[in-house]
Structure 1
Amino acid sequence: MTPYASTLPVHEPATPALAALLRRHQIVGIGDAHGVEAILQWLIDSLLCPDIATCLDTIVVEFAAARSQPLLDAYIAGEPGLDNKIDAVCGDTLHFCAWFADVYRRFFHAVRQINQRLPTPRVRVLAADPPIDWRAADAGRQWREANQRREAHYQALIEREVIARNRRALLVFGAFHLLRNCPAGSQLALNGPPLASRLRGVEPAQCFYLWPHFGHRPEVDAVREREGWSAPALVRNDLSELGALPFGALSNRAPSLVERPVRELFDGYLFLGSVRKQTHFPRQKDDPGWQAEIRRRANLLPTPDRERFLDAIAAT
């Protein structure tokens, strides 16, 4: 428990709580759940609040790749004529099927709006995914190699661009990338320990990671009823009964973690009400050229990734 924890509420309204976290910690991570648009939409709405934008200088996102950094910098800085080009940013990532929802494009637009309101220095968005050239003849090989080093790439970027420069950052990654205290071999379907378990050069107390609520979670609902949360709320695991729940109450994806108390794995719980995963339909879904291109990319991948991507494409 941190020295100030006893003075903080168990749960509080999520947006002002996020502002307080950003002022207090160097690194704040918000776990995304692919297909749950409500999480990114809440974050967009929160970032547009004046109290939030002044609390950070860097946002690091999984849903943009390093090759897109010059385009992203220009767009976020307000350069005109890039609205159509920015649509391709999420599609040029390793796991492009995770970012079909339009909310990711709206996220970039929201940060652009924020920067237009702020004096310099402005908020920068760092594209964290390893670079890949989907148009290259060896794109399949590039994907396999980049996917193997993904967590290490995230780590190196944040240690170099955020921690070493003493900047404050908001991390927006799939929630499993933001689990603490997970050694290698935790069966997370990641290559090595997740990002939050790797970061060096920053004190653990200077990091705060949030897991998002989604789906049907009876044990969480029981705690919520006893403690009286109302959406949107940020719940502190060190003060809530939630912290003692086994991680299996939230996910069975990692068998080695299901018995671990959630307080060991992340710091807070983002409760936005009853939200569930759903299939999102890209704006380009009726474009035969786009359909052919994403199928081409999926077919470059090894099994079982190829089948998973093709299933996601078929669902749209």
Structure 2
Amino acid sequence: MFVTVSAPASTSNLGPGFDCLGLALSLRSVFTFEPSDELIVEGCPEAYRNADNLVLQGFRTLCRQAGAEAPTVRLTINAGVPVARGLGSSSTCIAAGAAAANAFLGNPFTKDDLFQICARFEGHPDNAAPCVLGGLTASFAADERFHALALPISPDWRFAAVIPDYEVKTADARKAMPKEISVKDSVFTTSHAIAMINALASGDEDLLAEACRDRLHEPCRRKLIADYETLRALAFESGASAFFISGSGSTLIAMTKSDETALRFTAAARDRFPSFDAHVLETCREGVEVKVEE
């Protein structure tokens, strides 16, 4: 039995939607599982070729949830989603492992079950929701469960992502957050998040330009990304409608409906920062996908 799992990258926050908005992107990692007499992990740095690999942790977590013993596997990783860059690589790994285990066990769990398991593992749902379910989601926790709402999004948006060659540690990004915010800033962020949802659905670039502003996390976190101001200037010089930090960074995303604008920005970013990676991405409508071959 061979199980191949494809899981998408995701971006969270999207400006003012801190810890609730998430979007699956058309950049994927692919994981292949097959039964083995001994644990083998291939396709990743040596430090992760062991049972502590996050994919295998997700695999075992679902097996425990089912009350089953996790089978020994050979895991081959083709990682299209970069690690520790704010594109949901942890969710990608956990969701892939859980989905593969579900397939090995005969699919006793639903997609929502997978989402619950992945969100509990991470402790927050904003990347797990789009990774498992696909598309644009708003997620929250209530009554000891996580909830994910599917939101409409125009297919015309392009997400020009620039991925620096350095990471921003999530712990550092969390420490940079203010302990308290004013009522004025709270109202500003909430109102802009609502407007952001409308702009994403309608494809209104003028509304997006205004809505994608944040006073909660980006003013603090941008200081952790050395090249934020330079890349932001390049994005708007290229004609982008909006610019935001993906997750806690270091990836930065410019939004536009123009393929030419997106390509112009990524080309300018590569020219200015040759060691950085850059992709023009679209919304990924499908979340984690599983293929089984006997």
- Give the TM-score normalised by structure 1: 0.24
Structure with the higher strand share, 1 or 2: 2
- Give the TM-score normalised by structure 2: 0.25
Structure with the higher helix share, 1 or 2: 1
